[in-house]
Structure 1
Protein backbone atom coordinates (compact mmCIF):
# COMPACT_ATOMS: atom_id res chain seq x y z
CA UNK A 1 0.00 0.00 0.00
CA UNK A 2 1.22 3.50 -0.80
CA UNK A 3 1.19 6.41 1.65
CA UNK A 4 -2.18 7.67 0.45
CA UNK A 5 -3.76 4.23 0.62
CA UNK A 6 -3.64 3.39 -3.13
CA UNK A 7 -2.49 -0.12 -4.01
CA UNK A 8 1.03 -0.52 -5.36
CA UNK A 9 1.97 -3.02 -8.05
CA UNK A 10 4.54 -5.74 -7.36
CA UNK A 11 7.40 -3.64 -8.75
CA UNK A 12 6.79 -0.93 -6.14
CA UNK A 13 5.72 1.75 -8.70
CA UNK A 14 2.58 3.64 -7.69
CA UNK A 15 -0.44 3.39 -9.95
CA UNK A 16 -2.06 6.69 -10.83
CA UNK A 17 -5.71 6.82 -9.80
CA UNK A 18 -7.98 6.56 -12.82
CA UNK A 19 -11.21 8.52 -12.92
CA UNK A 20 -14.27 6.41 -13.66
CA UNK A 21 -15.51 6.58 -17.25
CA UNK A 22 -18.70 8.18 -15.94
CA UNK A 23 -16.63 11.13 -14.65
CA UNK A 24 -16.69 12.69 -18.13
CA UNK A 25 -20.07 14.34 -18.12
CA UNK A 26 -21.47 15.67 -21.36
CA UNK A 27 -22.80 19.19 -20.93
CA UNK A 28 -26.52 19.68 -21.40
CA UNK A 29 -27.55 21.80 -24.38
CA UNK A 30 -28.12 25.47 -23.66
CA UNK A 31 -31.94 26.05 -23.51
CA UNK A 32 -31.52 29.51 -25.04
CA UNK A 33 -29.70 28.05 -28.06
CA UNK A 34 -32.35 25.32 -28.40
CA UNK A 35 -35.07 27.99 -28.56
CA UNK A 36 -33.03 29.92 -31.15
CA UNK A 37 -32.60 26.79 -33.28
CA UNK A 38 -36.35 26.04 -33.10
CA UNK A 39 -37.18 29.59 -34.16
CA UNK A 40 -34.63 29.35 -36.98
CA UNK A 41 -36.29 26.11 -38.15
CA UNK A 42 -39.74 27.76 -38.10
CA UNK A 43 -38.38 30.70 -40.11
CA UNK A 44 -36.77 28.33 -42.64
CA UNK A 45 -40.01 26.39 -43.08
CA UNK A 46 -41.95 29.64 -43.51
CA UNK A 47 -39.45 30.84 -46.14
CA UNK A 48 -39.80 27.48 -47.94
CA UNK A 49 -43.59 28.01 -47.92
CA UNK A 50 -43.00 31.45 -49.48
CA UNK A 51 -40.82 29.83 -52.14
CA UNK A 52 -43.55 27.30 -52.95
CA UNK A 53 -46.26 29.98 -53.10
CA UNK A 54 -44.17 32.22 -55.34
CA UNK A 55 -43.30 29.32 -57.67
CA UNK A 56 -47.01 28.48 -58.01
CA UNK A 57 -47.82 32.15 -58.63
CA UNK A 58 -45.03 32.43 -61.21
CA UNK A 59 -46.24 29.35 -63.09
CA UNK A 60 -49.81 30.68 -63.18
CA UNK A 61 -48.59 34.12 -64.24
CA UNK A 62 -46.51 32.76 -67.12
CA UNK A 63 -49.47 30.68 -68.31
CA UNK A 64 -51.51 33.87 -68.54
CA UNK A 65 -49.51 36.01 -71.00
CA UNK A 66 -50.85 39.30 -69.60
CA UNK A 67 -49.18 38.59 -66.21
CA UNK A 68 -45.58 38.09 -67.42
CA UNK A 69 -44.24 40.91 -65.24
CA UNK A 70 -45.87 39.39 -62.19
CA UNK A 71 -44.20 36.07 -63.07
CA UNK A 72 -40.77 37.74 -63.29
CA UNK A 73 -41.43 39.47 -59.96
CA UNK A 74 -42.28 36.09 -58.41
CA UNK A 75 -39.02 34.60 -59.72
CA UNK A 76 -37.08 37.31 -57.89
CA UNK A 77 -39.09 36.57 -54.75
CA UNK A 78 -38.14 32.88 -55.03
CA UNK A 79 -34.42 33.70 -55.30
CA UNK A 80 -34.46 36.08 -52.33
CA UNK A 81 -36.54 33.67 -50.22
CA UNK A 82 -33.93 31.00 -50.99
CA UNK A 83 -31.32 33.34 -49.46
CA UNK A 84 -33.50 33.59 -46.35
CA UNK A 85 -33.41 29.79 -46.02
CA UNK A 86 -29.62 29.76 -46.52
CA UNK A 87 -29.16 32.52 -43.94
CA UNK A 88 -31.09 30.44 -41.38
CA UNK A 89 -28.67 27.54 -41.85
CA UNK A 90 -25.88 29.97 -40.85
CA UNK A 91 -23.68 28.34 -43.47
CA UNK A 92 -20.23 29.93 -43.25
CA UNK A 93 -19.97 30.40 -47.02
CA UNK A 94 -23.11 32.57 -47.10
CA UNK A 95 -22.25 34.53 -43.95
CA UNK A 96 -18.73 35.14 -45.29
CA UNK A 97 -19.98 36.93 -48.42
CA UNK A 98 -23.08 38.56 -46.94
CA UNK A 99 -21.98 39.70 -43.48
CA UNK A 100 -25.24 41.61 -43.01
CA UNK A 101 -27.06 38.25 -42.70
CA UNK A 102 -25.01 37.44 -39.61
CA UNK A 103 -26.83 40.22 -37.76
CA UNK A 104 -30.44 39.65 -36.79
CA UNK A 105 -31.64 43.09 -37.84
CA UNK A 106 -30.32 42.53 -41.38
CA UNK A 107 -31.79 39.05 -41.50
CA UNK A 108 -35.14 40.33 -40.26
CA UNK A 109 -35.23 43.11 -42.86
CA UNK A 110 -34.60 40.55 -45.61
CA UNK A 111 -37.43 38.37 -44.30
CA UNK A 112 -39.80 41.35 -44.19
CA UNK A 113 -38.84 42.19 -47.77
CA UNK A 114 -39.62 38.64 -48.94
CA UNK A 115 -42.93 38.73 -47.03
CA UNK A 116 -43.90 41.96 -48.81
CA UNK A 117 -42.88 40.51 -52.18
CA UNK A 118 -44.95 37.39 -51.52
CA UNK A 119 -47.99 39.48 -50.56
CA UNK A 120 -47.67 41.93 -53.50
CA UNK A 121 -49.97 41.82 -56.53
CA UNK A 122 -52.62 39.44 -55.15
CA UNK A 123 -55.15 38.22 -57.68
CA UNK A 124 -58.61 38.21 -56.11
CA UNK A 125 -60.34 36.22 -58.83
CA UNK A 126 -62.49 33.32 -57.67
CA UNK A 127 -60.37 30.62 -59.30
CA UNK A 128 -57.18 31.76 -57.53
CA UNK A 129 -58.64 32.26 -54.08
CA UNK A 130 -56.73 29.26 -52.68
CA UNK A 131 -53.44 30.69 -53.93
CA UNK A 132 -54.21 34.11 -52.43
CA UNK A 133 -54.95 32.45 -49.08
CA UNK A 134 -51.59 30.65 -49.21
CA UNK A 135 -49.87 33.92 -50.14
CA UNK A 136 -51.44 35.65 -47.14
CA UNK A 137 -50.51 32.85 -44.72
CA UNK A 138 -46.90 32.62 -45.96
CA UNK A 139 -46.34 36.37 -46.10
CA UNK A 140 -47.79 37.13 -42.66
CA UNK A 141 -45.88 34.26 -41.03
CA UNK A 142 -42.59 35.44 -42.56
CA UNK A 143 -43.43 39.04 -41.68
CA UNK A 144 -43.90 37.99 -38.03
CA UNK A 145 -40.56 36.11 -38.07
CA UNK A 146 -38.85 39.13 -39.61
CA UNK A 147 -40.27 41.49 -36.98
CA UNK A 148 -39.13 39.16 -34.18
CA UNK A 149 -35.64 39.11 -35.70
CA UNK A 150 -35.50 42.92 -36.04
CA UNK A 151 -36.65 43.59 -32.46
CA UNK A 152 -34.42 40.81 -31.07
CA UNK A 153 -31.49 42.21 -33.01
CA UNK A 154 -32.12 45.69 -31.62
CA UNK A 155 -32.11 44.17 -28.12
CA UNK A 156 -28.71 42.52 -28.89
CA UNK A 157 -30.11 39.00 -28.51
CA UNK A 158 -28.26 37.93 -31.68
CA UNK A 159 -24.99 38.98 -30.05
CA UNK A 160 -25.90 36.96 -26.96
CA UNK A 161 -26.65 33.94 -29.16
CA UNK A 162 -23.28 34.16 -30.94
CA UNK A 163 -21.51 34.44 -27.58
CA UNK A 164 -23.28 31.38 -26.19
CA UNK A 165 -22.60 29.42 -29.40
CA UNK A 166 -18.87 30.10 -29.03
CA UNK A 167 -18.96 28.90 -25.41
CA UNK A 168 -20.88 25.76 -26.43
CA UNK A 169 -18.39 24.97 -29.19
CA UNK A 170 -15.46 25.48 -26.77
CA UNK A 171 -17.13 23.26 -24.15
CA UNK A 172 -17.86 20.50 -26.69
CA UNK A 173 -14.26 20.63 -27.93
CA UNK A 174 -12.97 20.38 -24.35
CA UNK A 175 -15.13 17.29 -23.73
CA UNK A 176 -13.89 15.69 -26.97
CA UNK A 177 -10.27 16.42 -26.01
CA UNK A 178 -10.83 14.93 -22.56
CA UNK A 179 -12.39 11.79 -24.05
CA UNK A 180 -9.46 11.47 -26.46
CA UNK A 181 -6.97 11.81 -23.59
CA UNK A 182 -8.86 9.18 -21.57
CA UNK A 183 -8.86 6.81 -24.54
CA UNK A 184 -5.14 7.38 -25.10
CA UNK A 185 -4.43 6.79 -21.39
CA UNK A 186 -6.28 3.48 -21.47
CA UNK A 187 -4.28 2.42 -24.53
CA UNK A 188 -0.99 3.32 -22.81
CA UNK A 189 -2.01 1.44 -19.65
CA UNK A 190 -2.85 -1.64 -21.74
CA UNK A 191 0.55 -1.42 -23.46
CA UNK A 192 2.29 -1.06 -20.07
CA UNK A 193 0.46 -4.08 -18.65
CA UNK A 194 1.30 -6.10 -21.78
CA UNK A 195 5.02 -5.26 -21.41
CA UNK A 196 5.04 -6.30 -17.75
CA UNK A 197 3.35 -9.59 -18.55
Structure 2
Protein backbone atom coordinates (compact mmCIF):
# COMPACT_ATOMS: atom_id res chain seq x y z
CA UNK A 1 0.00 0.00 0.00
CA UNK A 2 1.19 3.48 -0.76
CA UNK A 3 1.82 5.68 2.24
CA UNK A 4 0.78 9.31 2.22
CA UNK A 5 3.66 11.70 1.83
CA UNK A 6 6.14 9.12 0.58
CA UNK A 7 6.77 10.19 -3.01
CA UNK A 8 8.65 7.01 -3.81
CA UNK A 9 5.67 4.81 -3.12
CA UNK A 10 2.94 7.02 -4.48
CA UNK A 11 2.10 6.00 -8.00
CA UNK A 12 0.53 8.17 -10.55
CA UNK A 13 -2.81 6.89 -11.73
CA UNK A 14 -2.56 4.78 -14.84
CA UNK A 15 -2.93 6.81 -17.98
CA UNK A 16 -5.97 6.28 -20.07
CA UNK A 17 -5.20 3.46 -22.40
CA UNK A 18 -5.59 3.85 -26.08
CA UNK A 19 -8.10 1.05 -26.44
CA UNK A 20 -9.31 2.70 -29.59
CA UNK A 21 -6.93 2.23 -32.47
CA UNK A 22 -4.98 5.32 -33.39
CA UNK A 23 -6.57 6.20 -36.69
CA UNK A 24 -5.04 8.18 -39.41
CA UNK A 25 -7.14 9.44 -42.24
CA UNK A 26 -6.79 7.38 -45.40
CA UNK A 27 -4.91 8.96 -48.24
CA UNK A 28 -7.56 10.26 -50.70
CA UNK A 29 -5.25 9.57 -53.64
CA UNK A 30 -4.92 5.90 -52.63
CA UNK A 31 -8.70 5.66 -52.14
CA UNK A 32 -9.26 6.93 -55.70
CA UNK A 33 -6.66 4.46 -57.01
CA UNK A 34 -8.37 1.57 -55.20
CA UNK A 35 -11.77 2.57 -56.57
CA UNK A 36 -10.40 2.78 -60.10
CA UNK A 37 -8.70 -0.58 -59.64
CA UNK A 38 -12.00 -2.07 -58.50
CA UNK A 39 -13.81 -0.66 -61.53
CA UNK A 40 -11.12 -2.08 -63.82
CA UNK A 41 -11.30 -5.50 -62.17
CA UNK A 42 -15.10 -5.59 -62.47
CA UNK A 43 -14.85 -4.59 -66.12
CA UNK A 44 -12.31 -7.35 -66.74
CA UNK A 45 -14.69 -9.83 -65.06
CA UNK A 46 -17.42 -8.63 -67.44
CA UNK A 47 -15.02 -9.27 -70.34
CA UNK A 48 -14.43 -12.77 -69.01
CA UNK A 49 -18.18 -13.44 -68.87
CA UNK A 50 -18.75 -12.05 -72.38
CA UNK A 51 -15.90 -14.08 -73.83
CA UNK A 52 -17.10 -17.25 -72.12
CA UNK A 53 -20.58 -16.73 -73.56
CA UNK A 54 -19.13 -16.07 -77.02
CA UNK A 55 -16.91 -19.15 -76.81
CA UNK A 56 -19.82 -21.35 -75.80
CA UNK A 57 -21.93 -20.05 -78.69
CA UNK A 58 -19.05 -20.50 -81.13
CA UNK A 59 -18.43 -24.08 -80.06
CA UNK A 60 -22.17 -24.86 -80.09
CA UNK A 61 -22.51 -23.70 -83.69
CA UNK A 62 -19.46 -25.74 -84.65
CA UNK A 63 -18.87 -23.52 -87.62
CA UNK A 64 -16.57 -21.06 -85.91
CA UNK A 65 -14.16 -23.10 -83.80
CA UNK A 66 -11.36 -20.58 -84.28
CA UNK A 67 -13.47 -17.83 -82.72
CA UNK A 68 -14.13 -20.12 -79.76
CA UNK A 69 -10.42 -20.77 -79.28
CA UNK A 70 -9.71 -17.05 -79.60
CA UNK A 71 -12.31 -16.34 -76.91
CA UNK A 72 -10.70 -18.90 -74.59
CA UNK A 73 -7.40 -17.03 -74.89
CA UNK A 74 -9.22 -13.78 -74.17
CA UNK A 75 -10.67 -15.32 -70.99
CA UNK A 76 -7.23 -16.39 -69.75
CA UNK A 77 -5.64 -13.00 -70.44
CA UNK A 78 -8.60 -11.14 -68.89
CA UNK A 79 -8.13 -13.29 -65.80
CA UNK A 80 -4.55 -11.96 -65.58
CA UNK A 81 -5.95 -8.42 -65.75
CA UNK A 82 -8.14 -9.19 -62.73
CA UNK A 83 -5.17 -10.68 -60.86
CA UNK A 84 -3.02 -7.66 -61.72
CA UNK A 85 -5.66 -5.35 -60.24
CA UNK A 86 -5.50 -7.23 -56.93
CA UNK A 87 -1.77 -6.40 -56.88
CA UNK A 88 -1.12 -9.84 -55.46
CA UNK A 89 2.63 -10.01 -54.79
CA UNK A 90 2.88 -13.52 -56.29
CA UNK A 91 1.65 -12.26 -59.68
CA UNK A 92 3.72 -9.07 -59.57
CA UNK A 93 6.82 -11.09 -58.68
CA UNK A 94 6.65 -13.17 -61.87
CA UNK A 95 5.25 -10.51 -64.21
CA UNK A 96 7.10 -7.34 -63.24
CA UNK A 97 5.60 -5.48 -66.20
CA UNK A 98 2.20 -5.59 -64.46
CA UNK A 99 3.61 -3.53 -61.60
CA UNK A 100 3.95 -0.60 -63.97
CA UNK A 101 0.77 1.15 -65.00
CA UNK A 102 1.71 1.57 -68.66
CA UNK A 103 2.28 -2.19 -68.98
CA UNK A 104 -0.92 -2.97 -67.14
CA UNK A 105 -2.83 -0.55 -69.36
CA UNK A 106 -1.48 -2.13 -72.55
CA UNK A 107 -2.62 -5.55 -71.33
CA UNK A 108 -6.09 -4.14 -70.64
CA UNK A 109 -6.24 -2.57 -74.11
CA UNK A 110 -5.24 -5.92 -75.62
CA UNK A 111 -8.04 -7.71 -73.75
CA UNK A 112 -10.51 -5.01 -74.81
CA UNK A 113 -9.53 -5.48 -78.46
CA UNK A 114 -9.80 -9.26 -78.13
CA UNK A 115 -13.25 -8.91 -76.59
CA UNK A 116 -14.41 -6.62 -79.36
CA UNK A 117 -12.93 -8.68 -82.21
CA UNK A 118 -15.13 -10.82 -84.45
CA UNK A 119 -18.48 -9.34 -83.44
CA UNK A 120 -21.47 -11.39 -84.50
CA UNK A 121 -24.14 -9.04 -85.81
CA UNK A 122 -26.96 -11.53 -86.20
CA UNK A 123 -30.36 -10.46 -84.91
CA UNK A 124 -30.50 -13.26 -82.36
CA UNK A 125 -27.32 -12.15 -80.60
CA UNK A 126 -27.87 -8.42 -80.17
CA UNK A 127 -27.64 -8.77 -76.39
CA UNK A 128 -24.23 -10.43 -76.58
CA UNK A 129 -22.93 -7.81 -79.03
CA UNK A 130 -24.15 -5.05 -76.71
CA UNK A 131 -22.35 -6.68 -73.75
CA UNK A 132 -19.22 -7.07 -75.88
CA UNK A 133 -19.30 -3.38 -76.76
CA UNK A 134 -19.86 -2.25 -73.18
CA UNK A 135 -17.15 -4.51 -71.78
CA UNK A 136 -14.57 -3.78 -74.46
CA UNK A 137 -15.00 0.01 -74.57
CA UNK A 138 -15.03 0.30 -70.78
CA UNK A 139 -11.86 -1.79 -70.44
CA UNK A 140 -10.31 0.15 -73.32
CA UNK A 141 -11.00 3.39 -71.42
CA UNK A 142 -9.48 1.97 -68.24
CA UNK A 143 -6.44 0.82 -70.20
CA UNK A 144 -5.95 4.24 -71.77
CA UNK A 145 -6.17 5.88 -68.34
CA UNK A 146 -3.55 3.44 -67.03
CA UNK A 147 -1.20 4.03 -69.97
CA UNK A 148 -1.45 7.83 -69.73
CA UNK A 149 -1.11 7.73 -65.93
CA UNK A 150 1.87 5.41 -66.26
CA UNK A 151 3.57 7.76 -68.68
CA UNK A 152 2.96 10.62 -66.23
CA UNK A 153 4.55 8.54 -63.40
CA UNK A 154 1.30 8.43 -61.41
CA UNK A 155 1.90 4.72 -60.78
CA UNK A 156 5.23 5.51 -59.15
CA UNK A 157 3.53 8.11 -56.96
CA UNK A 158 0.87 5.56 -55.97
CA UNK A 159 3.48 2.92 -55.07
CA UNK A 160 5.40 5.47 -53.01
CA UNK A 161 2.31 6.60 -51.09
CA UNK A 162 1.22 3.00 -50.58
CA UNK A 163 4.61 2.17 -49.06
CA UNK A 164 4.33 5.17 -46.72
CA UNK A 165 0.85 4.01 -45.69
CA UNK A 166 2.18 0.53 -44.87
CA UNK A 167 5.03 2.04 -42.86
CA UNK A 168 2.60 4.31 -40.99
CA UNK A 169 0.28 1.39 -40.18
CA UNK A 170 3.23 -0.65 -38.91
CA UNK A 171 4.33 2.27 -36.71
CA UNK A 172 0.81 2.56 -35.27
CA UNK A 173 0.75 -1.17 -34.52
CA UNK A 174 4.15 -0.96 -32.84
CA UNK A 175 2.99 2.03 -30.79
CA UNK A 176 -0.14 0.19 -29.67
CA UNK A 177 1.94 -2.85 -28.72
CA UNK A 178 4.32 -0.66 -26.69
CA UNK A 179 1.35 1.02 -24.98
CA UNK A 180 -0.17 -2.35 -24.12
CA UNK A 181 3.16 -3.63 -22.79
CA UNK A 182 3.63 -0.44 -20.71
CA UNK A 183 0.21 -0.90 -19.12
CA UNK A 184 1.02 -4.52 -18.30
CA UNK A 185 4.29 -3.48 -16.67
CA UNK A 186 2.56 -0.70 -14.69
CA UNK A 187 -0.01 -3.23 -13.48
CA UNK A 188 2.76 -5.64 -12.45
CA UNK A 189 4.52 -2.83 -10.63
CA UNK A 190 1.30 -1.91 -8.80
CA UNK A 191 0.72 -5.53 -7.82
CA UNK A 192 4.34 -5.87 -6.66
CA UNK A 193 4.11 -2.80 -4.42
CA UNK A 194 0.83 -3.91 -2.92
CA UNK A 195 2.35 -7.17 -1.74
TM-score grouping bracket, smaller chain normalisation: over 0.9
Higher relative contact order at CA 8 Å, sep ≥6: structure 1 or structure 2?
A: 2
Alignment check: 8 A CA contact 2:14 2:186 kept: no
**TM-score, length of structure 2 as denominator length:** 0.92
Alignment check: 8 A CA contact 1:122 1:132 kept: yes
Q: How does 1:88-107 map to 2 (within 5 A)?
A: 88-107=85-104
Deviations 1:78-103 (A, max 9, x none): 00000000000000000000000000
Alignment check: 8 A CA contact 1:9 1:15 kept: no
Separation in structure 2 between the aligned mates of residue 102 and residue 152 of structure 1, nearest angstrom: 13
The equivalent of 1:49 in structure 2 is 46
The equivalent of 1:63 in structure 2 is 60
Deviations 1:52-109 (A, max 9, x none): 0000000000001111000000000000000000000000000000000000000000
Separation in structure 2 between the aligned mates of residue 17 and residue 163 of structure 1, nearest angstrom: 42
Q: How does 1:6-85 map to 2 (within 5 A)?
A: 10=6, 12=8, 20-22=16-18, 25-85=22-82
5+ long unaligned stretches in structure 1: 1-7
How far is the alpha carbon of 1:17 from its aligned partner? 8.5
How far is the alpha carbon of 1:16 from its aligned partner? 7.1
The equivalent of 2:173 in structure 1 is 176
Q: 1:149 pairs with 146, 149, 168, which one?
A: 146
How well do the aligned residues superpose, as a CA RMSD in angstroms? 1.9
5+ long unaligned stretches in structure 2: none
